[in-house]
Amino acid sequence: MTDLSPPEHEHSAAVDQAAVWVATMPRERLPRPIVPALRQRFGLTPVEACEALREARLIQARAI
């Protein structure tokens, strides 16, 4: 097993903020395409934007 130490398992506060924003925004109100919108709104890289989307889905799954 590979030891995944920082920065592989750390993400920024901006990723967390983006994830909460996506998770709490009504789906029909989310801008399309979402990755460029997250990059512009939160200053994320493409990888960070995708990570924020994954985190948002986890937040939504925990809310059910």
What are the DSSP E strand ranges found in 1-64? none
| Cβ-based burial of 40 (10 A; exposed 0-12, middle 13-18, buried ≥19) | exposed
**pLDDT at position 11:** 76
All residues at 6 or more sequence positions from 11 whose CB lies less than 8 Å from its CB, including other chains: 48, 51, 55
**pLDDT at position 42:** 98
**pLDDT at position 49:** 98
Q: Convert the pLDDT of each residue in 11-41 to its tens digit.
A: 799 999 999 999 999 999 999 999 999 999 9
Is the Cβ–Cβ distance between 15 and 55 less than 8 Å? yes
